[in-house]
Chain A
Amino acid sequence: MFTRPDAVTLTIYLDGAPLTARAGDSVAAALLSHGIHTTRQTPVSGAPRGPYCMMGACFDCLAVVDGQPGVQTCLATVRDGMRIERQQGARSLSDTQ
């Protein structure tokens, strides 16, 4: 598990539950700082997955971020009030498309 000694300033929401984050964090790093490793379930078998490479290559850390599905959370930067939902299976087409 990871931990972080520094102060945190922002609030994000994972499946509705508030979590602290630090400005500049990637969404994935903010979740990992709370020991949260699971961001989605795979479309193939429903197995849980989460951040693996942290550099945008593996596509395992996908989640729904502010309504946008299929976001690579390791590349998305947190914003105060950001709403993240774990992605269940294949991404859906979002309303904004």
Chain B
Amino acid sequence: MNPDLIVIGAGPAGISAATEARAHGLSVLVLDENPAPGGRIWQALETRGAKDQDDTDGLLALHKFRASGADARWRSSVWAIEPDGTVFWSEDSVARSARAARVVVCTGTTERPMPIPGWTLPGVMTVGAAQIALKTAGLLPTGATWIAGQGPLLLLYTVQALRAGGRIAGVLDVSDGTAPLRALQHVPMALRAFDDITKGLAWRREITRAGVPWLSAMTLRAEGEGTLQRIAFRAGGRPRVENADLLLLHDGVIPSVQITRALGCAHEWDAGQHCWKPALDAWGTTSLPNIVVAGDGAGIGGARVAVLSGRIAALGVAHALGRIDGALRDTAAAPLRAARARALAVRPLLDTLYAPRPRRLDDATIVCRCEEITAAQIRDAATLGCLGLNQLKSFTRCGMGPCQGRMCGSTAAEVLAAARGVPVAAIEPYRTRFPTKPVTVGELAAMAAE
């Protein structure tokens, strides 16, 4: 059965889009790689239970989604989409496909890579990874755990881990000391989202009260033989070496544009968030009329914004498919747009406070984890005349491993831009191709249409 709408990803944006679309009578198929809905922020929330108001709101959204009548497929990995709305995915080792009138892509974010010497050692992970381990499996960091980087998620995870009984040796803050001054101009606007600011400040105080050292640090390295054993960095003007068996890195999140890139949707550079994002109209529609994007995959706004964007996108789809008229669509969307504008008010402040530091990678630092391509190899390619990331593939194999450039794209562009003396936005990004997830010949041979 071909549905009216296929939603890719069951995070806040996806489940809100699905629930709203069902309310207008659309048939909806939801595909997600995880065993349950929630995405990152509400991951495993149905089993964890609510701990605060945000969780309670999330749980309510999950209950509404479960009751919506949307056909949800878990452990389902989408590997291709065609511009006409045909979606291909693997589920229980069988490849499947279905065609919908519209596809809403709600694939959220990936963490911006934070390459340091030694970041490929086992024992070095992202803060987001540790948060997933905490939420889904109750894993707590023990004593020799260091957290390094910057951004709201770093603060949030540290607080969550401490509250759950975890122990953290210290936090290494790599944020720019002058950023708060530059961020001041955004404070008046951000006051519209006052509770977000007070929450962030309270987290920071809670970490200090817990006795976790908070150090402004530079030139971080991960070291060890076969696994992480220690970290080296500069703090307070002197070099330090500390024992470490777990190092968690975080430098903000960027939209996951793998699917929209592979589809050939138009993208634009977001100078405030230092990332690419799909170009969208007021209803989230991409340059391809059947493909819609909602949530953080359209630009980083957080969970509340994602919920609202998902609902707005679903209203747009319901209207496009003739289920509601233009007046009803616009009336229903107006309060959602107003709420979204309020929730977005804090972003310019956060984007300035936690702007990624310019990468000054050592020559030997690995940029592409899959093909083990170093910064020096990218600089050498630039010297030989390499202009963009697709040429860089031919020069070096950078971005050609199994992750398909997810872990190196932003860094490789920055290193190449610096070597060429041009802005990052002038570097042609990877031309991503389907399948965006590996699919076996066996799965393809067993392909079944819905």
Contacts and interface: CB of A to CB of B under 8 A. Distances in A.
Contacts of A62: 402
B440 to A, nearest CB: 6
B142 A3 contact: yes
Contacts of B77: 56, 75
Contacts of A59: 370, 401-403
B230 to A, nearest CB: 14
B67 interface: no
B264 to A, nearest CB: 21
B128 A50 contact: no
Given A1-B145, A1-B246, A29-B136, A57 B110 contact: yes
Contact of B129 (A4, A42, A49, A51): A51
B122 interface: yes
Nearest to B366: A47
B137 A26 contact: yes
Interface string B365-376: 000011110000
Given A3-B139, A29-B136, A42-B372, A54 B125 contact: yes
B158 interface: no
A70 B443 CA distance: 14
Contacts of B403: 57-60
A44 interface: yes
Given A24-B35, A24-B47, A96-B442, A2 B142 contact: yes
B410 interface: no
Nearest to B443: A97
Interface residues on A, range: 35 or more
B227 interface: yes
B122 A26 contact: no
B142 A51 contact: no
A11 interface: no
Interface in B108-166: 110-111, 120-126, 128-130, 132-133, 136-142, 144-145, 165
Interface in B161-182: 165
B369 to A, nearest CB: 6
What is the size category of the interface that chain B forms with chain A?
Answer: 35 or more
A32 B124 contact: no
B43 to A, nearest CB: 9
B136 A25 contact: yes
Contact of A2 (B111, B246, B372, B402): B246
B40 interface: yes
Nearest to A62: B402
Task: State the main secondary structure of chain A at its contact with B.
Answer: loop
B126 A52 contact: yes
B441 interface: yes
B122 A53 contact: no
A88 interface: no
B246 A48 contact: no
B406 interface: yes
A84 interface: no
Given A75-B75, A97-B440, 18 more contacts: A1-B246, A2-B246, A4-B138, A24-B35, A25-B137, A32-B133, A32-B137, A38-B227, A47-B120, A48-B226, A49-B120, A52-B407, A53-B110, A53-B111, A55-B128, A58-B369, A59-B370, A77-B75
26 contacts: A2-B139, A22-B138, A24-B47, A32-B139, A37-B123, A37-B228, A38-B226, A38-B227, A45-B372, A49-B120, A49-B369, A50-B122, A52-B369, A52-B407, A53-B407, A54-B130, A54-B133, A55-B132, A57-B406, A59-B402, A60-B120, A60-B369, A74-B129, A75-B33, A75-B34, A96-B442
Interface of B: 33-35, 40, 47, 75, 77, 110-111, 120-126, 128-130, 132-133, 136-142, 144-145, 165, 226-228, 245-246, 256, 369-372, 401-403, 406-407, 437-438, 440-442
Interface of A: 1-6, 22, 24-26, 29-30, 32-33, 35, 37-38, 42, 44-45, 47-60, 62, 70, 74-75, 77, 96-97
